[in-house]
Amino acid sequence: MAEVQGGGGEGGKKGGKVRSKKTSTRIDMTPMVDLAFLLLTFFVLTSTLSKPKTMEITLPEKPKEGDKQPEVNEKKVLTLVLGSNDKVYWYVGITEPEAKREDFSKNGIRKVLLEKKGEIRDMIVLIKAMDNSKYKNFVEILDEMSICNIQRYAIVDITPADKEIVKQAKL
């Protein structure tokens, strides 16, 4: 802890001056360092590390053989095809659609989703990813669904017809 060391004046000798004793203090810092490391260890071990953020997706049950797929009015279907280079191709309907290209900006696909949500009542969005699209784009389109408050959407496999529609949109 702390100790006082005495030493100094030799005033008791013949002919010398009488001096007062000088005292020096020495503080042992070891217990304070120990306490600091104990506190540091305690707070590191009890703190919550950053938790990974996950997105919950409710997947439908796998259809049984012989189950009939529900029929949907094609005028209420908006199809989004995720392409390469952060592009999204979209079209309304199923037969003879004309695709348009957008990006992931607020004036891009978000604007389209909000406009179509206002125009088409009970709209269903089909999300299709091409082989050369990025996973980041898939997460971004799911975020756009949440931002635009679109509850009815489905993740669907891309068909050869969709690939042809995207090729025609690039021209």
How many helices (H) and strands (E) the chain has is answered by 4, 7
* Total domain count, the chain: 1
| Structural domain boundaries, residue 130 | 77-170
Residue 4: inside a domain, yes or no?
A: no
Residue 144: inside a domain, yes or no?
A: yes
CATH number of the domain at 135, please: 3.30.420
Residue 68: inside a domain, yes or no?
A: no
C-alpha dihedral, 79 to 83 to 85 to 89, nearest 10°? -30
With beta carbons less than 8 A apart as the criterion, state whether 128 and 136 touch: no
158: number of Cβ within 10 Å: 18
Residue 112: inside a domain, yes or no?
A: yes
With beta carbons less than 8 A apart as the criterion, state whether 79 and 97 touch: yes
Over residues 4-59, the pLDDT tens digits come to: 565 555 555 566 677 777 777 888 889 999 999 999 999 888 887 777 777 677 66
Over residues 82-125, the pLDDT tens digits come to: 888 888 888 888 766 778 888 888 788 888 888 888 888 888 88
